[in-house]
Structure 1
């Protein structure tokens, strides 16, 4: 049976909560993904085995949550995430954001830092709507978007194209995190596959340089793609969560960060 939370904005969000000790862990999924993916379920199994509180959910218009995907935007999905954290968790949480979920995690760290104990970004995709507009859209795409309000884009994960709306692009510009200083005053771990063609390593390097954090590390996994869901990658995710949980209360004076490389893909 699916459990729903009604947000202050009136959206109905499906979620699954695993009870356990705090700080808890919250999984933030990617664009057009849902809470039944391998990373979310792996984290739930880890939480159940370790007695850690864990929360996974679907943004509005995603998975089991209500609403139409085409009506949503990053700002809406940030509000959804904020609502489930405020209502369904206690105290600071470790956020695990996959792809777009990494962008949303960074927004939450900006707007509600008191509820964020640490952050793990898996192929984090901050400001992806702006990169899409500037680097991926053809002139025909831009014209269609401006005139019709929506353009259909092919997907590597589905036979059906997915809609990109003008609202999504416009709202994305109101939620950029790379156009201004980005202080994240808690432990941050960025995980990135070198074979990721959806969010290439250059995005991770740029984010690593841009984030201001007292405890920041970037781990590259050679050969891993955007799914980042091989057994070795899943183990790296839970190891990173363990690392952040062990260090979330530490204050590190050196803000230069660390860069690690891994060949476990």
Structure 2
């Protein structure tokens, strides 16, 4: 894995802080000043209530989604573990895409939010199918996938499965293999207890109970979708944002992803004071400027 010392430091006007941008194939870069090419985007003053639609799938749960029609490339937001499509980042990106006139989709995984399905029966593999269903059944034309936490893991799988439609990736605290890695780092007796009980209580400050109850079967099935043990066949441009104060998914996980993907157009941007969710105003501005840059880059080759 590449060391932090290989990072090139960029001063981000949008966030007013230093952020590290790592390109594993080009080494040290020049110090750059980021300037948005469009009028500065601002967070919406309040959230508006919006209706959602359902994607009908034969023999699979219906998926709730919200879609904005607009220009290509479209943006698809892939939420984190048990997160729904009404989170801060999902809603902020909708406002951002609306302001630019670009197509946008946010959705709920099966078993989560307004989608059908039983959460206890859900797996990484089933959620992977959910994303592919959205790409195949709702999205029109080329897409930029924005994956948050576990959604970052799943966006990699979607890019592998649909390279002709996925033009770029943006990960926020990308949790590739994270649940499996964390479980395997537990003491053997704790792993055995989870196997016997059938559940693992994953500590989390984001859940009112102080933990998520994860099915043991979910962990074992997720092992079949791990990616970091070998080269990842993703060749599109990729931007990986990560907070250095992330206490859920270590920031070096994004470095591992950057090291493993085949793409030569990869940046890892580290924010020193940000945590796992990266939903503060400066984090969201960094995210939207990053997507804006990718849209400009892709507009050269995408009609």
TM-score of the pair, normalised by structure 2? 0.79
Distance between the aligned counterparts of 1:236 and 1:2, measured in 2? 28
Do residues 149 (structure 1) and 198 (structure 2) align? yes
Residue 170 of structure 1 and its aligned partner are, at CA, apart by: 1.7
Give the whole-Å Cα distance in 1 for the aligned partners of 2:297 and 2:71: 16
Q: Which residue, out of 125, 128, 136, partners 1:75?
A: 125
> Is 1:118–1:188's contact at 8 Å kept on the other side of the alignment?
yes
- SS of 1:113's equivalent in the other structure is coil
1:34 pairs with 2:96: no
Which of these two proteins has the greater Rg computed from alpha carbons?
2
Contact kept, 8 Å, 1:42 with 1:234, in 2: the verdict is yes
Aligned partners of 2:243 and 2:138: how far apart in 1?
32
Give the CA deviation at 1:162: 1.6
Structure 2 contact 110–127 (Cα < 8 Å) conserved: yes
> CA deviation digits over 1:70-128, x for unaligned, max 9?
21111110100110111111122100000000000000111111110100000000111
Question: Measured at CA, do residues 8 and 213 of structure 1 come closer, stay the same or move farther in structure 2, by a change above 3 Å?
Answer: farther
Aligned residue pairs total 250
Aligned to 1:102: 152
CA RMSD of aligned residues (A): 1.6
Instruction: Quote the offset at 1:9 in angstroms.
Output: 4.3
Equivalents in 1 of 2:163, 2:62: separation in Å? 24
Q: Distance in 1 between matches of 2:59 and 2:146?
A: 24
**What's 1:158 paired with?**
207
CA contact (8 A) 2:146 2:155 kept: yes
Cα distance in 2 for residues equivalent to 1:7 and 1:56: 17
Larger deviation, residues 139-148 vs 79-88: 139-148
- State the structure with bigger RCO (CA 8 A, min sep 6), 1 or 2: 2
Q: 1:189 aligns with which of 224, 234, 239?
A: 239
- In the alignment, structure 2 segments of 5+ residues that lack a partner are 1-50
Q: Which one of 229, 243, 250 corresponds to residue 179 of structure 1? A: 229
